[in-house]
Chain A
């Protein structure tokens, strides 16, 4: 639902990530956050001009 709503608002779906990480998977959590941060960096500033 969130993806569809973002689409209507013209916000790139690549800016949303949904992952399940257990508390025992610290390394995986770091990996996901790093790759998501890199993805957002590559996408650049959002059209909103605010941290969305």
Chain B
């Protein structure tokens, strides 16, 4: 059976957003860490973007390139496969997470390797690759510093770019001291010391590993090249030292030609880390006899992407280049952090990607499109102009609403579409004002509306609606 939607195994059975978010907003340490981190990156990004006078044109160009690629994805995928194969690589097609994990596990086992060094990759988080490797007795080692912190802490990533954004340096020191073999006993929470400890720990892993697993930021169809952008150099080590390299790449990561990179390499670092250019950009095409890996495998992953592509409004989510600018400006993400979204893709983009890749069936996926105030800050900063609020309200309409809520909305819809119904409701509200709000303010509302009055007063209805006033004072003039 072909599965239409994808899977994200690690996140199965997580609570719906409102429950998870309720716990998150009460976590003082989390709130402090997030406020500090999101505000810092947000401000830096704004500065980096303001330096480019043609930002908006770049953004529209990126949108156009991505839309064109997605509309012709069948052609470009075949072209990519041909060119990777010609350059000595092997291409595998994975329908879903399970297939991708099987392919990667099989390839690692074929090398008789027990350890795998990993470049930070959203796609392998999406498919739960680490769990799958561990289930086969293989040891994945995350080499991105923040991803390593998450892995050592038996935690889940909570941000696309900074997976350990929810941890501060004191918490990181505790994780290192507890979990990192050979961590110095006198380790302090000085960032330089923490980085040095991680570097010493990882160096051994780089030298020993015979297999590396990566994702890719871009896959270039006309040359068969893969591109990884990163900041720490760990990616460069993984991509060049081991004999075997396996890259798991979503099918939407394609760019038609080498020249298209220009646009995206201008947009991605500034949106993501607020840098003009990221420190390391690795580009490889198949294998070369005297350098880098001897074997290269590209695993092209669907996992719900084809189903997403079939949706006219929803497909714009596939333009995403995983920069995380939308997370950093989101008022909701800033208060809840990433775990509440029950997916490796958190924040505004996660709220439209996860329910499309996985389908709207689970309570968490059905709650995600509602995890937004629709303030539009995400759309404003998105470097590929994904209209996230539009996609959110579109997905809300596809969700099976609770019967009680549906009844309330149908009934209120009947009233609100009719001037007479509205006027009658207004007269009833005005008549009740002395009962419901003796102090002129309503302190407590019934039913689900208590969510409002738990922290906010509600205004009392006025003695007379506007239309009643108009009718009384200017009745003849309409």
Q: Does chain A bind chain B?
A: no
Listed in ascending order, the chain A residues whose CB lies under 8 Å from chain B are none
